[in-house]
Structure 1
């Protein structure tokens, strides 16, 4: 018996081989139609900040470091919003699995109202204490870098309500099984961000532009366009299960549904915020090592986040699939599918990590040449 025959017998004797057809159906019919658009959408959301860094990279390393410091803090806030978005996704998927459209609409509407109000309050507080936040985050960074970071933070906090609306609305649409609309909106936002920020930073024709200020302003304008688009999609009932009129946002709140969303979102937000805070702490530790190190560290983290996107997309897809299964009482099927997604994401991310390392220099080369070598090492 040769080696290939022996390996074939070993594979045929595994439990996976006997269930390969059902796994194949699960992958192509349920996971892929959800995970691929979610992956592309999450990439677009992440690229909003990455592209802002790229656009200011030619203004100098001080500008890149300023954006990096401010965005390290912004990512903690975005992680919290994304976790509440997850709670909304689960409630919508579970409700629609039980054929309860009204509960799905109420959950979406109330999540949007609560998180928008919270985002306004949060933006007000951060804007007021912005200088203290930057001093804490930037540590021993230079005065010029701190000033640029404060300017960028004060501009981008104005986009928090818009970011909350876009994330929560996109999560609700994903929970309803509509992954294409959030992808289309977030993809369009990236294009708008490049165009608007590029014009505001570097100018157009005879207008010289606003310089560094244009980066934060362009990002904020783009996010509000996205928020309007999400509210419009929900208002016209593009997805009939989630048709939410504008006047319905002023109805009294049903706290039983809110606590259900928060019961899922808050524990998830603690996990996400702690993970993102670890990155923020690293940024704080390197703040005194020089402007190039600050910029390089942020860019390296951004690239690492892009590498992790497939796992995040599979996690979101499994959340939607599980919510649907639990909604119709198929608990055993949900467990089987979760196990399959777990191994798929583990093996996939391991392969991506090994394949990405040789191309680190290529990915870092898109930024300013002065920090190219540092980015490659990180």
Structure 2
């Protein structure tokens, strides 16, 4: 049995590169928002509002790539847990190639229907924000195949226990993102077009790096004969077993988030800008939690691959508690510092006041965050994606959307109402995930034995 000292060491080895990566990535994302928001006067507010609006819409499609990345992570992790590097390599290859083809199809569709889709969904936003949004998305969507390659490639590397390469690729992409965005916004003065070009070119550079690493075999995995790719449905079935539920969950979940963004869009540019800035800072606070979510998927996946069921339960419980402690500390620190953090983005008094209160409100909910995000990360590592899908969809549409509309629109609580509904969603999902963790059903999935046995593994009671 794995002792606590070994588990802590494993968390540190996997988690520190991810933590550094996410700190740099989120910080650079904040800087990107700052670069846009610091444009003169109303221009800055409109640009930030447009980017925030399009990011919410983009995540709906990016979630497909993320889902495939989760599937690749879990399958590779379970093969590596069994010590089968050959099958881990083949699973990685199938994941990367399938994600590439799917992303190209999505990009073609969005390129054709760009403007009609944006106008249909965001028909209540201000005209200038709408115009900027259409221009921004028309460029950014062309980078989706590069993002898909990066997500799935980094996912399979993490599944193999190599979190350093994934961290390096993201850091490289984000350094180029900041540099190019600054160049295009403030030197060439290209406005919203410059912001779109900066992030798109950076994604292409990041994808090129991580793909080169995988093809060269410099790390634990190696992709071979990509130019003679043939679908291997055994591995694709395993990846999709996790990826499809995760994808459905993520798409419907982000549809709900998109709808709440529409609610906020009807509240005006100040509400949209305040929400964007607050979420940018909240993402910084959530870095340890997001890092530990990724760690939980890898560790639990490898333990399930080794049939270490008791250890998987103990590991997931510990990782969740550890994440909660980290987030509560950071949440408490954000209460007195929120105003100063917001001031880095804007000097607009109304936006500063609104965003500050949103960050302070979020701090009160940090104790429940890990139970609704880190826990399902581990459950997915065990292949329990269908349960997390059903739970997330129910929580999103019943509580976050339903209560969000009631609190934010009907009762006119504004973005505060949207946030409160979100916290209720977290609490409900976290409770359901805790109940799942205490049972044995989530341990009955062993993806790497799918073709060989096609039967559930017998679980021994603790």
Q: Same fold (TM over 0.5)?
A: yes
Distance verdict in 2 for CA 1:299–1:353, change over 3 Å: same
**CA distance, structure 1, for counterparts of residue 35 and residue 333 of structure 2:** 27
Map of 1:244 onto structure 2 = 223
Q: Deviations over 1:47-106 (max 9, x none)?
A: 565443222112221111111111111223333322321111111111112121121111
- Contact 1:96/1:327, CA 8 A, preserved across alignment: yes
Map of 1:124 onto structure 2 = 108
Unpaired runs of at least 5, structure 2: 359-462
Distance verdict in 2 for CA 1:267–1:116, change over 3 Å: same
The Cα shift of 1:355 comes to 2.8
Where does 1:1-378 land on structure 2 (aligned, <5 Å)?
A: 22-27=3-8, 29-46=9-26, 49-59=29-39, 60-203=44-187, 208-239=188-219, 241-245=220-224, 247-370=225-348, 371-378=351-358
**CA distance, structure 2, for counterparts of residue 283 and residue 132 of structure 1:** 18
The Cα shift of 1:193 comes to 0.7
Unpaired runs of at least 5, structure 1: 1-18
Q: Normalized against structure 2, the TM-score is what?
A: 0.72
**CA distance, structure 2, for counterparts of residue 302 and residue 283 of structure 1:** 15
Map of 2:451 onto structure 1 = none
**CA distance, structure 2, for counterparts of residue 87 and residue 358 of structure 1:** 40
- Contact 2:28/2:175, CA 8 A, preserved across alignment: no
**CA distance, structure 1, for counterparts of residue 121 and residue 287 of structure 2:** 26
The Cα shift of 1:290 comes to 1.9
- Contact 1:119/1:160, CA 8 A, preserved across alignment: yes
Q: Deviations over 1:298-344 (max 9, x none)?
A: 22222223322322211211221122222222222222212211222
Distance verdict in 2 for CA 1:249–1:242, change over 3 Å: farther
Q: Normalized against structure 1, the TM-score is what?
A: 0.87
- Contact 1:55/1:198, CA 8 A, preserved across alignment: yes
**CA distance, structure 1, for counterparts of residue 131 and residue 32 of structure 2:** 17
Report SS of the residue matched to 2:32. helix
Choose between structure 1 and 2 for higher RCO, CA contacts under 8 A separated by at least 6 residues.
Answer: 1
**CA distance, structure 2, for counterparts of residue 169 and residue 146 of structure 1:** 34
**CA distance, structure 2, for counterparts of residue 159 and residue 326 of structure 1:** 35
Query: Which deviates further from its counterpart, 134-143 or 30-39?
Result: 134-143
The Cα shift of 1:36 comes to 2.1
**CA distance, structure 1, for counterparts of residue 251 and residue 20 of structure 2:** 22
Aligned CA-pair RMSD? 2.1
The Cα shift of 1:273 comes to 3.4
Distance verdict in 2 for CA 1:186–1:360, change over 3 Å: same
Q: Deviations over 1:325-374 (max 9, x none)?
A: 22222222222212211222233323332332222112211112113222
**CA distance, structure 1, for counterparts of residue 103 and residue 30 of structure 2:** 22
Q: Deviations over 1:135-164 (max 9, x none)?
A: 233231111110101111111101100001
Instruction: Say how many residue pairs are matched.
Output: 352
**CA distance, structure 2, for counterparts of residue 47 and residue 128 of structure 1:** 33
Report SS of the residue matched to 2:89. helix
Distance verdict in 2 for CA 1:157–1:46, change over 3 Å: farther
